[in-house]
Amino acid sequence: MNDLDGSFGRHRVGPDERRRRIRRVFAAVAARYDLMNDLMSAGIHRLWKRRLARDAAGAAGRVVDLAGGTGDVARLLAGPGRTVTVCDPSLAMMAAGRGRGGDILWVAGEAEALPFPDDSVDVLAVSFGLRNATRLDRALAEIRRVLAPGGLFLCLEFSRPRAWLRPFYDLYSFFVIPRLGAAVAREPAAYQYLVESIRRFPDQRGFARLMREQGLARVEWRNLSFGIAALHSGRKPESHGSRR
């Protein structure tokens, strides 16, 4: 179990309680979630998500946007020859996104028990959602299970910025973001959880190691905005028995 599993912000909690608290967070912020993302990042999150979509551009077939929330990334991933599905445990988040258009399917499900058959997904992308899984290792094992051989996994997540940037980033994270959450979303505790969950998520090397441990191959990452975010990628090996 890593530092993220079994926690909710600064508190140690069991897996069921962690799941319940996270569900409450997203139900509370769903209506203003996209607005808060724009305010917190000054719109830069949209550039990061477009980078993810470009990395997925060469693939066709079934595409899953895991923890896809309101579907902003799913809309970027949609295109000819693709069936795009948002899979998210929060009905409130998906309800907030359904009315915004796009040829997208919506399915309720969580990362540790994906509602897709083995070897059925050509691209699985997740943006700023995997740190909300109850067990990160199980989520990665499920992602490997549902990917088709050779299928692509993309994970965009907050990570560890460069050392020179870290003090300024910490000040902004711990003092500005919760106040924005209070003023705009009226949920300061939800955004305090967000800040603390970022710190508990494995750094670039640590997450790459977890991906390899769960059988994903060709694992690499690209730092974005000096490491504030990182875009990880990996593929399910062509041979079912291959783990490296």
Are the CB atoms for 13 and 7 separated by under 8 Å? yes
Task: Give the pLDDT score at 8.
Answer: 59
| Domains in the chain, CATH or no CATH each | 7-235 (3.40.50.150)
Cβ contact 136:130 at 8 Å: yes
DSSP-derived secondary structure letter, 130: G
> Which regions of the chain are under pLDDT 50?
241-244
Give DSSP secondary structure letters for 104-123: EEEEE-BTTB-SS-TT-EEE
What does the pLDDT read at residue 23?
A: 77
Question: Are the beta carbons of 104 and 42 closer than 8 angstroms?
Answer: no
pLDDT at 190: 73
Structure tokens at 101: 């258009």
- How much is the pLDDT for 7? 60
Task: At 139, list the tokens.
Answer: 């989520």
Alpha helices, H only, the chain: 15-29, 33-41, 44-55, 72-77, 91-98, 136-146, 166-171, 177-180, 188-200, 204-213
Q: Output the pLDDT for position 12.
A: 67
Q: Starting at the edge strand that comes first in sequence, how are the strands of the sheet with 229-235 ordered?
A: 104-108, 82-88, 61-66, 121-127, 147-158, 229-235, 217-224
Distance CA 77, CA 42 (A): 22
Q: Which residue(s) pair with 110 in the sheet? A: 113
